[in-house]
Amino acid sequence: MKLSHVVASLPFLILFAFQPAAATGPDQTALAQSISTFIEGVRTSDLAKVKSTTVQGYRAGDQPKYAILSRLGQVTDVDLGDARRFSKQTIVDAEVRHANGASSWTFSIQAGSRILAAEMTSASVYGARAPATSTKTTTGGFARYHHRRYSGGQRRPVVLSCESSPSSCNQDARLVEFFYATDRNIKITNNVSTLDTNAPRSGILTYGVAGVRIPEDHEPGKIELPSEWHFLSFDYKAATDETKHFSIKRLAATSYDDWKDLVKRQADQSENRALVFVHGFNTGFEDALYRNAQIVWDLQYQGVSVLFSWSSKGKVRDYGYDQDSADIAQAEFVELLTKLHESGIEHIDIIAHSMGNRVVLPALDQLATGSSPVRVRQLVMAAPDVARDKFMIQLPLAQKIVAGSTLYASSADKALIASAELADFPRAGMVSASGPVLLPNLDTIDVTAIGDEILGLNHTVFATNRAVMDDLKLLLINGMKLPRLAQVRKFPEPPQPSTYWKYR
């Protein structure tokens, strides 16, 4: 996800001389943690985190958003520098390391470790290209942004616009950029995709890049789109407002060679890891783009993001067609994983939703029986629309190249219930009267308690519920094992032996 390099600044005026003071012992540890949490709150627009680290009366709305933080990524370490006392405040400098760079800050601290004011004074993004300007220098392969310093104790912010370096930033902090691979027979012109309705399945993998803007009022788990009405012979769709709705800003097909080069460049900046999302039944190409962007944004994922979009017709009545399309796409998914590995990706995480598991599991089985070195770090199977007995045969074989496996299942998923009736056999994503699927080295989580409203025909509980997204974030970003959330507990409860996990 490439985000803008614009650095704004809240004036942080120091009017008096300071006496040196040192933060020692536990206070220093608490302060470093407070600063880390604060910066993460600003980076992810998490008001709760900001409030938890600041003094009463702190005006979070006045804090600059610092768009460059999204590109810098998650905070990994905080190194406290000089501390100066002034009246009831302590002024502290901090050097902060991020997943994709570093930043420097000055903080005003009260009450031990509470933040009164904060200002970013510089930022460094690994791999960025710097234009020729007096306010931006390049050292050791990364771009450095900084403020000019003036005499008189004051500093004026220097704001760098992306217009000065369009190749190294995307001008919009809310633009999620990712890669796609698809076997749909589509043509893309002026950021608009057109499907060949006469031959919608091409059987050939094609590649491209996409950029989806996330609206300012986005709520985690949701895809905010314009209102759309269909009544009798009348169709109505409201105009897209990018401040309120998801909007596709960039969409372009590329050659495989160009795609591979772009993937390799981003992989070099993101620990050679990738998250591959495989959508489910009843999902058109644009819908898949929106869902992938929502997942990447809500997870704040900083690695290589890849959407694998197989040829679903995007209509409820075409269930049989989608089944055939999923089966056809298995070979293309093998090809994608192989080429990601060839592009330098060493750690692959996969989220497979619904019928997308019908694509993923046989593909992994094929890779597991071959000599391919492709390996998967985490395989997340959300409401898999796969026959239960078939799933129990396929997953153990796939696990030969999978380090961790997680299954989200439910007894209230209407789409899976309908699928079971059509196929006359229970699905792996269902929780039957005897319980969900249980296999060795598989973390099974029953999400029935979340309710059937969001588990309904949209069939997207894993992405539309905040708790499930929080659980996914802890798994994929933090690498945490169960239990990760307080509302997810072992079942049955002690003293009975527990066999799986359940949302409460």
The domain ranges of the chain are: 28-51+63-125, 175-503
Q: For residue 80, give every residue at least 6 positions away whose Cβ sits within 8 Å of its Cβ, in sequence order, or none.
A: 23, 28, 31, 32, 35, 92, 93, 94
Q: What is the pLDDT of residue 214?
A: 93
Q: What is the pLDDT of residue 171?
A: 54
Residue with tokens 């009798």: 232
Q: What is the DSSP letter of 62?
A: G
Q: Which of 345, 354, 484 is nearest to 418 (CA)?
A: 354
Q: What are the backbone dihedrals phi and psi of residue 50, each rounded to the nearest 5 degrees, phi first?
A: -60, -45
3-state secondary structure of 289: helix
Instruction: Judge contact between 246 and 224, C-beta under 8 A.
Output: yes
Helix ranges restricted to H, 370-460: 388-398, 414-423
Instruction: Judge contact between 342 and 260, C-beta under 8 A.
Output: yes
Helix ranges restricted to H, 215-342: 256-269, 285-299, 319-328, 330-342
Q: How far apart are CA 113 and CA 208, in angstroms?
A: 47
3-state secondary structure of 58: coil
Pick the CATH number of 175-503 from 1.20.1740.10, 3.40.50.300, 3.40.50.1820, 3.40.50.2000: 3.40.50.1820
In the chain, the N- to C-terminal Cα span, in Å, equals 34
Residue with tokens 């072992």: 490
356-369 helix and 319-328 helix, angle to the nearest 10 degrees: 20
Q: What is the pLDDT of residue 160?
A: 31
Q: Could you tell me the two tokens for 202?
A: 């091409």
Instruction: Judge contact between 142 and 128, C-beta under 8 A.
Output: yes
Task: State the sign of the Cα–Cα–Cα–Cα dihedral 144, 150, 154, 159.
Answer: negative
Q: For residue 355, give every residue at least 6 positions away whose Cβ sits within 8 Å of its Cβ, in sequence order, or none.
A: 280, 281, 312, 322, 323, 326, 385
Neighbours of 257 (CB within 10 A): 9
How many residues comprise the chain?
504
Strands in 72-174 per DSSP E: 75-86, 89-98, 101-110, 114-126, 136-139, 142-146, 148-149, 155-156
Q: Could you tell me the two tokens for 86?
A: 């002034």
For every one of its 504 residues, what pLDDT tens digit does the chain have, with 9 covering 90 and above? 433 332 233 233 222 333 334 434 348 889 999 999 999 998 888 888 998 999 887 777 767 778 788 888 899 999 998 787 766 778 888 999 998 888 888 888 887 788 888 888 888 777 543 333 333 333 333 333 333 222 223 332 222 333 333 333 445 788 999 999 999 999 998 888 888 777 788 889 999 999 999 998 888 878 888 887 766 667 777 888 888 899 999 899 999 999 999 999 888 888 899 999 999 888 999 999 999 999 999 898 989 999 999 999 888 788 889 999 999 999 999 999 999 998 889 899 999 998 999 999 999 999 999 887 789 999 999 989 999 999 999 999 999 999 999 999 988 776 676 666 666 678 899 888 889 999 999 999 998 887 653 333 344 444 455 677 888 999 998 889 998 988 899 999 888 888 999 988
Q: What are the backbone dihedrals phi and psi of residue 437, each rounded to the nearest 5 degrees, phi first?
A: -65, 130
pTM score above 0.75 = no
Q: What is the pLDDT of residue 403?
A: 96
Chain-centre distance for alpha carbon 206? 23
Q: For residue 432, give every residue at least 6 positions away whose Cβ sits within 8 Å of its Cβ, in sequence order, or none.
A: 411, 426
3-state secondary structure of 172: coil
Q: How far apart are CA 255 and CA 265, in angstroms?
A: 16
3-state secondary structure of 54: strand
Q: Could you tell me the two tokens for 253?
A: 């097909």
Q: What is the pLDDT of residue 124?
A: 79
Amino acid present at 485? L
Q: Could you tell me the two tokens for 13?
A: 């005026």
Q: Could you tell me the two tokens for 398?
A: 């796939």
3-state secondary structure of 121: strand
Q: How far apart are CA 424 and CA 364, in angstroms?
A: 26
Q: What is the DSSP letter of 60?
A: G
Using alpha carbons, list the distances in angstroms from residue 441 to 119, 127, 136, 183, 463. Answer: 46, 38, 50, 32, 24
